[in-house]
């Protein structure tokens, strides 16, 4: 028996087995499509690649376009290639890739951004396709296997598959025989719509509350396709001196919280975002003296394997295995017995839901584009207008965590100035996370614990602890000017000078650096 037939144990689906190329006639321009996948893991590959090649070979660029609804980013060989071929009209809610970002920022692709937990539920509510009754035309789902009853065993992520199979008119299943079966790793709870929505009864990261399979209506399945493509994964981001320093400040903070009795000795469930700082923080935990740790998060990066290997991580709950193509996934597969039994993969609507995040008391740590002196953060839009990837799940965790930490380098270089961008500004050019959500701000310069502080006190601490010395004098001057002016007007709760608040960002646009000479706005806006 072929590997494909071993994986597809539901015999009624055998007659639906076909090649990826045979599915092309099912797709019509303008369709609403749902894909599996989350932070490039568990996404369909064979069918999207076949469609891209069809468009490329037949000169259909811009003539065969689709609306894509995916849990988060997927591999560049699929979505980003589609963007290059002008195959994407609308895209929700998070993406990665040079071509798709260019398409969004040039107005060719209509992207919408949303907290990921809310995207998952709103997709099932039919909000994104309400003009056509709330359904999707086709869902394309990567699976490890299909059991005898037609239940889907997913692969390296869960994403919004539970929602897609509920609202899609038709389903195409991609059975990935190019990697081991992940049967048993998933915990699927199919949430009902209000007023019948059930509680999410997770009391610890290792709790199982659902089944290992996604139930589907077999009559929706129009094709079953074999795929041998492995995930491209998320490239590992190397740590540097700045990220190591940030990690050190966070480790010191956690030790002080344990000493003060505000955290247990094994901390609380960890949530960590992606990137070099997140890797450094997890690396710090792997080298540190906290034991019996647990993780409740949305993505597991390569450094989580280090944390398992250190013997300090007991269990991890996630939405996806966001490992690198090399060495992450090969390392995971080579040590399957060590890791697989200690990991649960959950649907996005569960992994990012506010209810378990608050109940478990997660420690949330995420990297924004910039923060400001009053503890707002911008995670999405450079200069307030240029979309990078999207909000992702950072807000789900930061808004609901026991302690919400945002970390960023104090400065970033420009083409002409190695300290050209201050990542701490008077006012963020766009706000994704408000002052009401954030507790701790960290740069390589230091850590500002702003819990219990009024806005003006927060500003002083953030400037003192987090701002680079090159920018501290000008930032202190701004705060003093704004405070005097606003208190005089009896508007001084959170002082700002709106004719000057964005001068650093404006100077960056015009002169390639935020290192302004003064706050004078009378002669030249960007003097």
Residues forming the active site: 298
Measure the CA–CA gap between 55 and 52, rounded to whole angstroms. 5
Q: Is 277 in contact with 243 (CB distance < 8 Å)?
A: yes
According to DSSP, the β-strands at 386-387 and 381-382 are antiparallel
| Cα radius of gyration (the chain) | 24
**Secondary structure (DSSP) of 241-266:** HHHHHHHHHHHHHHHHHHHTTSS-TT
Q: Quick one: how far is CA 520 from the chain centroid?
A: 40
Measure the CA–CA gap between 176 and 229, rounded to whole angstroms. 7
Q: Is 182 in contact with 143 (CB distance < 8 Å)?
A: no
Measured distance between the N- and C-terminal CA atoms of the chain, rounded to whole angstroms: 75
The number of residues making up the chain comes to 527
Question: Which sign, positive or negative, has the C-alpha torsion 315, 292, 279, 275?
Answer: positive
Measure the CA–CA gap between 417 and 410, rounded to whole angstroms. 14
According to DSSP, the β-strands at 446-449 and 440-443 are antiparallel
Name the nearest CA neighbour of 435 among 516, 496, 503.
496
Measure the CA–CA gap between 527 and 321, rounded to whole angstroms. 48
Q: Which residues share a beta bridge with 324?
A: 233
CB-based burial, 364-396: b 16+ in 10 Å, e otherwise: bbbbbbbbbbbbbbbbbbbeeeebebbbbbbbb
Q: Is 232 in contact with 40 (CB distance < 8 Å)?
A: yes
Name the nearest CA neighbour of 445 among 428, 426, 422.
422
Calculate the alpha carbon distances from 157 to 77, 93, 138, 300 in Å.
18, 16, 19, 10
- Pair of tokens at residue 184: 């048993």
Name the nearest CA neighbour of 250 among 470, 399, 465, 472.
465
Helices and strands in the chain: count of H runs, count of E runs: 17, 26
Calculate the alpha carbon distances from 515 to 229, 232, 475, 485 in Å.
48, 40, 11, 23
Measure the CA–CA gap between 311 and 306, rounded to whole angstroms. 9
**Secondary structure (DSSP) of 455-467:** HHHHHHHHHHHHS
Calculate the alpha carbon distances from 401 to 28, 58, 360, 499 in Å.
43, 50, 9, 35
């Amino acid at each position: 028996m072929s590997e494909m037939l071993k994986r597809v144990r539901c015999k009624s689906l055998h007659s639906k087995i076909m090649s990826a190329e045979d599915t092309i006639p099912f797709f019509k321009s303008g369709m609403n499509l749902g894909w599996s996948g989350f932070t490039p893991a568990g996404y369909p590959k064979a069918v999207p690649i076949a469609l891209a090649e069809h468009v490329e070979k037949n000169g259909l660029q811009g003539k065969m376009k689709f609306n894509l609804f995916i849990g988060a980013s997927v591999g560049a060989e699929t979505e980003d290639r589609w963007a290059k071929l002008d195959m994407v009209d609308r895209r929700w809610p998070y993406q990665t890739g040079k071509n798709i970002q260019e398409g969004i920022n040039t107005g060719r692709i209509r992207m919408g951004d949303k907290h990921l937990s809310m995207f998952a539920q709103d997709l099932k509510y039919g909000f994104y396709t309400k003009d056509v009754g709330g359904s999707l035309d086709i869902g394309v789902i990567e699976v490890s296997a299909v059991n005898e009853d037609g239940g889907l065993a997913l692969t390296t992520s869960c994403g919004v598959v539970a929602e897609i199979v509920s609202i899609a008119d038709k389903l195409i299943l991609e059975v990935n025989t190019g990697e081991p079966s992940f049967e048993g790793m998933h915990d699927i709870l199919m949430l009902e719509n209000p007023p019948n929505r059930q509680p999410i009864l997770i009391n610890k990261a290792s709790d199982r509350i659902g089944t290992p399979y996604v139930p589907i209506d077999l009559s929706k399945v129009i094709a079953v396709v074999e795929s041998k493509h492995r995930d491209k994964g998320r490239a590992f981001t190397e740590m540097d001196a700045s990220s190591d320093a940030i990690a050190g400040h966070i480790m010191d903070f956690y030790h002080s919280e344990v000493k003060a009795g505000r955290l247990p000795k094994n901390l609380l469930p960890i949530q960590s975002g992606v990137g070099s700082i997140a890797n450094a923080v997890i690396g710090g935990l792997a080298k540190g003296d906290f034991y019996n740790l647990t993780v409740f998060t949305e993505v597991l990066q390569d450094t989580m394997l280090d944390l398992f290997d250190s013997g300090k991580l007991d269990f991890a709950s996630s939405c996806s295995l966001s490992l690198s193509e090399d060495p992450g996934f090969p390392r995971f597969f080579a040590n399957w017995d060590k890791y697989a039994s200690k990991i649960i993969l959950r649907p996005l609507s569960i992994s990012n839901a506010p209810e378990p995040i608050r109940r478990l008391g997660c420690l949330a740590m995420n990297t924004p584009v910039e923060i400001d002196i009053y503890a707002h953060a911008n995670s999405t839009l450079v200069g307030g207008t240029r979309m990078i990837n999207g909000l992702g799940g950072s807000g789900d965790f930061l808004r609901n965590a026991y302690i919400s930490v945002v970390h960023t380098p104090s400065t970033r270089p420009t083409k002409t100035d190695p300290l050209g961008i201050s990542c701490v500004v008077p006012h963020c050019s766009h706000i994704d996370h408000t002052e009401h959500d954030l507790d701790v701000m960290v740069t390589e310069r230091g850590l500002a614990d702003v819990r219990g502080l009024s806005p003006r006190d927060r500003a002083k601490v953030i400037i003192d602890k987090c701002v680079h010395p090159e920018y501290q004098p000008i930032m202190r001057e701004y705060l003093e000017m704004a405070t005097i002016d606003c208190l005089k007007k009896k508007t001084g709760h959170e002082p700002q000078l709106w004719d000057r608040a964005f001068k650093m960002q404006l100077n960056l646009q015009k002169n390639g650096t935020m290192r302004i000479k003064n706050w004078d706005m009378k002669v030249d806006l960007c003097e």
